[in-house]
A and B are shown apart, each in its own frame.
Chain A
Amino acid sequence: MQLSNIRTERFQRWIAGNKIFMTLIVLVFLASVTSEYFWTWNNIMNVFRQASVIGMIALGVHFVVLIGMLDLSVGSILVFSGAVILWGQNLFDLDIPGSFFLGAASGVVLGSLNGLIVTYGRVPSFITTLGTMFIYRYFMMWVADAGAVSGNRISHTFLGHGYWLGIPVVVFPLILAAVAAHVVLSRTLLGRYLYAVGQNSRAAFSSGANVRAVTIAAFAISGMAAGLGAVLETSRLNSISTANSGVYYELDAIAAVVLGGASLRGGKGTILGTVSGVLMFSILNNYMNLQNVSTYLQGVLKGLLIFLVLYRQNRLRED
C-alpha cells in the first residue's frame, strides 16, 4: 500500500518533470487520430529518418547549452567533417566504421578548438562560434571551390538507404548516441560537473571541478556529434555541398534543445527532453506533408510551436 503510494508519487513527479515528453505523446495521439497514414510503420520510420541528422547534432549542442553556452558552428563542422569523411573514403577505401571514426575525430578537433578559444581566449561562446562558423565553412568552400564533395563507396549509401530489422539503418546511430549521452549525463562525473558548471560555475570551481576542462569537453562533444551527423548526412546522397549543406542546422538544433526544456542559461535539461524536441519538429513537418499543407508554411508552424510551448513557461525569470 505504502509502496504503491510512493510509486504513484514518483510517477507523477516524473510526468511533471517531463512535460515536453507528454506534449510529444499528445501530439502523436492527435496526429494519429486525424490522419490515417500517420501511425503506419513506414511513416513513423520516416519521422525518425528525417530527425536523424538534426537529432545527432542536437544531442551534442545539448552539452554546450547545459553549461550555459552556445555552439553556432555545428552546421559548419558538419560540412567540414562531411568533406573529410568523403575524401577519406575515396583515398583509403574506408568502410562505415572508418567513416564514423573520421567524422568523430574531425569534429572533436574543431569542437576542441572552439573550447580552447572560449576558455583560454576568454571570448564569449556566441562570438567564438559565430567566428568559427564562418571560418570552418568558408575554409571548406575555398578548398572545394564552393562545390560538392562526392564519395564513391557504395557501402556508405547503405547507411542512408538500407534497412535492418525493418528499421532504417540511419536511426540506430541516433539511438545509440542518445543512450550514450544520457548515460554520460546521469551516471558519470563529467555529467555531474556539466550540470554544476551550468548552474554556478564559480561554485563548481570551488568544489574542485576543472571548469576549463569541462567546458572544452562540452565543445568537443558538440563537435563530435556534428561530425557523426556528417556521416549520416553524407550517406543520403554520398556527397556534401560545401555551400548549402548544414546551413542554419545550428539554429534548428538549438531550437530543439530549448523546446525540450533546457534553459540557455544552463544547468537544466534532459536528453529525453531534447530527443522529444527534435521528434516534435520532425512530426510537425511530417504531419503537414501528410495533410498537404504547403512546405513554405511549415516555418510558420515551427515558430508558433516554439512560442506556444515556451510562452510564459519561465515565470520566475528575473528580466
Chain B
Amino acid sequence: MSAATETESKSPSTGMRLGKVLWDQYSVIFAFVVLVALAAVLNEHFLDIGNITNVLRQVSIVGILSLGMTFVIILGGIDLSVGSVLAFSGTVIMAAQVTYELPIWLSIVLGLVAGALLGIINGFVITYGKITAFIATLAMMTIARSLALYYADAGAISGFDSSYSKIGNEYMAGIPIPVLIFGGIFILSYVVLEKTVFGRHIYAVGGNTQAARLSAISVFKVTILSYVICGITAAIGAVIETSRLNSISTSSSGHMYELDAIAAVIIGGTSLSGGRGRIVGTLFGVLILGVLSNIMNLLNISPYLQGVVKGLIIIAAVLLQKRD
C-alpha cells in the first residue's frame, strides 16, 4: 500500500507511470520482440517456417522443465535435480520397454510415476525434513543420476520399437509433436498458476510462508505438490528426450539442464526469493535463449561464445528488470 503511494508521488506523469507498469510486466516480451526483429534483419533465413519450427523444437525439452521450475521458484524454492530426474525417468522408460518388454503407453506412465515419486521425496525432505531446497535437491540430483548410471553401467539403453520415436520426431498439423506438448503444458501451467486456488496458494507460500500458514493454507501439501509438478515435467522431458533417438544416455542426458531451466525462469522475470513471477515470462525467457542460440548459429558464431552471451544475458536481465 505504502509502496504504491510512494510510486505515485514520485512519478511525474501518468504516461511515465504507465510506462513503468508496462516495463515491469512485459519487459521480457519487449526484449524478445527486439531480439526477433534484430535476428530477422541480421539473417534472411531466420523467419523461414523451417527455422522457426527448429527453434521451437530445440527449446521444447528445457522449456518444459522451465515451466515446472517456475512453480518451485515462485514457491521460494529451487530444484537442482530436474536434469538427473530426466535421466532417471528416461532410464525407467527405456528399461520398461527393452528389459521388461512392456507396451509403450505403460512405459511412459511408469516414467511419469518415477518423476512424480522423486518429486514427492524432494518435497517431503524439504518440508518435513527441514532441509533447504537447494541442498535437498542437490542430494536428489546425485542420487537420481547415480541410480541411472548404476542400472545401465553408465552406458545407454536403446529401444527397438520405432513407433516410440514418432513422439520426438513427427509432426501433427505441421507442428512438431514436442512443440505441441510444450504448448499444451504451458497452457496447463498457466491455468493452474493463474486461475486456480492452488496457484494462488503457491504465490502465498512463496511470498510469506508464515502468513500463508496462518491463513490455513497447508504449506506441506502445496510444497509437495509443487515439487511433484516439477518432477513430472522432468519426466515429460524424458519422454521427448528418449523418443528422439529411441535411447537414453545415463551419463549425458539431462546434464546441466537444471541450470538452463533456472536461467530461463530468471530471464523471464521470476524472483528467486519467491512469491513473484509469471509463467508467461518463463515462456519468453525460454524463447529468448532459443532464438539467441539459433541466430548465433546462423551467423556462424562459436558455440562457446554463445555460453558467454548466455551468462551475460542472465545478469543483464536481472539488472534491467528489478528495481526496488
Q: A-side interface residues toward B, CB under 8 Å?
A: 70, 117, 121-124, 126-128, 130-139, 141-142, 145-146, 251, 254-255, 258, 264, 294, 296-300, 302-304, 306-307, 310-315, 317-319
Contacts and interface: CB of A to CB of B under 8 A. Distances in A.
B262 interface: yes
Contacts of B100: none
A289 to B, nearest CB: 15
B308 A135 contact: yes
Given A146-B304, A294-B150, A319-B219, A134 B143 contact: no
Interface residues of B, number: 48
Nearest to A139: B308
A123 B318 contact: yes
Q: Which of B134, B210, B307, B319 has the most CB of A within 10 A?
A: B307
B142 interface: yes
B62 to A, nearest CB: 14
18 contacts: A121-B315, A122-B322, A123-B318, A124-B273, A127-B272, A128-B315, A131-B311, A135-B311, A142-B307, A142-B308, A255-B138, A258-B132, A264-B132, A296-B146, A302-B146, A303-B139, A307-B131, A307-B136
B146 to A, nearest CB: 3
B224 to A, nearest CB: 14
Q: Which of B80, B128, B273, B308 has the most CB of A within 10 A?
A: B308
Contacts of A137: 307
A134 B311 CA distance: 5
Contacts of B314: 127, 130-131, 134
A124 B305 CA distance: 24
A62 to B, nearest CB: 15
A121 B146 contact: no
B259 A130 contact: yes
A141 B125 CA distance: 37
Contacts, number: 141
Contacts of A124: 272-273, 318
A141 B310 CA distance: 14
A307 B319 contact: no
Given A132-B311, A296-B149, A300-B147, A123 B139 contact: no
Interface of B: 76, 80, 125, 128-132, 134-136, 138-143, 145-147, 149-150, 153-154, 209-210, 219, 259, 262-263, 266, 272-273, 302, 304-308, 310-315, 318-319, 322
Contacts of A128: 315
A139 B154 CA distance: 29
Contacts of A311: 125, 129-131
Contact of A299 (B76, B125, B143, B209): B143
A128 B209 CA distance: 26
B308 to A, nearest CB: 5
Given A127-B314, A128-B315, A303-B143, 14 more contacts: A121-B315, A131-B315, A133-B259, A135-B311, A142-B305, A264-B134, A297-B150, A298-B146, A300-B143, A302-B146, A303-B141, A304-B143, A307-B131, A318-B210
Contacts of B210: 318-319
A307 B128 CA distance: 12
A134 B226 CA distance: 28
A14 B322 CA distance: 44
A123 B315 contact: yes
Contacts of A298: 146
A135 B312 contact: yes
B315 A127 contact: yes
A146 B142 CA distance: 25
A231 to B, nearest CB: 24
Closest 3 CB pairs of A and B: A299-B146, A138-B307, A134-B311
B155 to A, nearest CB: 10
Contacts of A136: 311
Contacts of B310: 134, 138
A134 B154 CA distance: 26
Contacts of A130: 259, 262-263, 266, 311, 314
B316 to A, nearest CB: 8
Given A130-B263, A142-B304, A296-B153, A315 B315 contact: no
B130 A314 contact: yes
Contacts of B129: 307, 310-312
A22 B143 CA distance: 25
